[in-house]
Amino acid sequence: MLLDKNLIKHFSDYLRLEQSLSDNTIEAYCHDIELFRQYLEDSEKSCSITEITHHDIEDFFAKLYDLGIAASSQARILSGLKSFFKYLLQEKICEADPTMLVSSPSIGRHIPDVLSYEEIVSMMDCIDLSQQFGHRNKAIIEVMYGCGLRVSEVISLNISDVYAKDEFIKVFGKGSKERLVPIGNKTLHELMLYVKGERLHQDIKPKFSDKVFISARGTSLTRQSVFLLVKRLAEQAGIKKTISPHTLRHSFATHLIEGGADLRAVQQMLGHSSITTTEIYTHISDEYLRQVIMEYHPRWHSQNTSTN
């Protein structure tokens, strides 16, 4: 069987129907496999599935390296190829997995920027509640920081998934995995101010009647619109860090760890499948503690003071 677009389409259907992956993940995987297919075609190598070897895949990644593709992107592409060949084995389309002998590129551990609580408050203070969508925008920031949600989880949040009396929200994360996340009094207050006030005056299309956050067109918000909102508020607040909606999620987790929260509890609230992913926040917290002791402890402070 040839590695052609029909086979990639079958793989896409498998990811959607059997694995219940998100549309964004499926699109990324299929795009990466198409890159590999094009590489084989341009290199005039056989596109027969059974003839692909680990050498072909290593040559492909050498080409990506020469093109300046980042190690993190290479790792994601390899992950997509591994999933693809796992599917081919399962369907008995091929008998061996050539990705088994290919090592993932070393990407190191990137520690993201984190906002202080004061910086987050300053962003919310920049929102003019008298303007259209003011309460909606404040509720968005509150929910992202107060509940640690991904931007995709925020824009897909349903009113029927908000359990106000129990102070929980139901969240559908990656792979349509469901989890319950506590929602604090302040965050819930801002959310309900929008839902029971400003939102009632919006013209909402029937298909989106259960969505919490509604755009000016009466539909769900887009990821890009939330990204632009966060960037604009950060600029207005005079914050110079590299900011995105995910920064609020990072800040949520970091502040919990700094406050002494159990790592497993933070993992559950974030919806991480592996505790290893959550452990990055312990490294952020360690750096924070180091900065604190350097600034306030007299023995550390004296190291930076020259003696006469």
Q: What residues act catalytically? A: 150, 174, 246, 249, 272, 281
Distance CA 131, CA 265 (A): 38
Distance CA 100, CA 119 (A): 46
Q: Which of 158, 153, 154, 180 is nearest to 167 (CA)?
A: 180
Distance CA 73, CA 17 (A): 26
Distance CA 140, CA 120 (A): 12
**SS3 annotation, the chain:** CECCHHHHHHHHHHHHHCCCCCHHHHHHHHHHHHHHHHHHHHCCCCCEHHHCCHHHHHHHHHHHHHCCCCHHHHHHHHHHHHHHHHHHHHCCCCCCCHHHHCCCCCCCCCCCCCCCHHHHHHHHHCCCCCCCCHHHHHHHHHHHHHHCCCHHHHHCCEHHHEECCCCEEEEECHHHCEEEEECCHHHHHHHHHHHCCHHHHCCCCHHHCCECCECCCCCECCHHHHHHHHHHHHHHCCCCCCCCHHHHHHHHHHHHHHCCCCHHHHHHHHCCCCHHHHCHHHHHHHHHHHHHHHHHCHHHHHHCCCCC
